[in-house]
Amino acid sequence: MSELSSPRALCPYLTVAGAAEAIDFYVRAFGATLDYKLVDPADQRIGHAELLFGSTRVFLSDEYPDFGAVGPNALGGSPVKMHLEVDDADSFVNRAVEEGATLLRGVKLEFHGNRTGMVADPFGHSWFIASQAEQVSPQEMQNRWNQGQGE
């Protein structure tokens, strides 16, 4: 049996209906940077784009139902949530909502030490937005959760 190669990176790949609009939204509302995009010459859909959220790369494409690439709106939602760490969760969430995101959970201090809220982008993906308010050890997180401070 050969030895398993170690992973070098993990990158989320988002599929949406309206990738060009999604790119614009992520740049405006989330401060992402478009690294590049490849446009399908047959129908002008975005076949692949790469966005940078800080140092994290996220891939994005339009829907291609013919090979199973459909967005969360086509599926009635997605169980996968994105978690984005920012300097100021409150102002970040406010800007995202101003730009068209839907507020799912207001920002509040959580038992794990982060100020965290959740928004849904207009394309069906949900995002936890978090900023660290205090350094909390895993043991203290568990203690707080045990005492009913977790959700």
Q: What is the pLDDT of residue 16?
A: 97
| pLDDT score of 107 more than 90 | yes
Let me know if domain 13-146 sits in CATH 3.40.50.300. no
Rounded Cα gap, residues 54 and 38, in angstroms: 21
| pLDDT score of 118 more than 70 | yes
Q: What is the pLDDT of residue 1?
A: 64
Q: What is the pLDDT of residue 150?
A: 65
70: tokens are 């459909």
60: tokens are 């994005």
pLDDT tens for 3-60 read 888 888 889 999 999 999 999 999 999 999 999 999 999 999 999 999 999 999 999 9
Q: What is the pLDDT of residue 151?
A: 57
Q: What is the pLDDT of residue 9?
A: 85
Q: Each residue of 109-143: b (16+ CB within 10 Å) or e?
A: ebbbbbbbbbbbbbbbbbbbbbbeeeebeeeebee
pLDDT tens for 120-143 read 999 999 999 999 999 999 999 999
| pLDDT score of 100 more than 70 | yes
Angle value at C-alpha 27, between 48 and 94, nearest 5 degrees: 135
* Amino acid identity at 70: V
Domain-by-domain residue ranges, the chain?
13-146
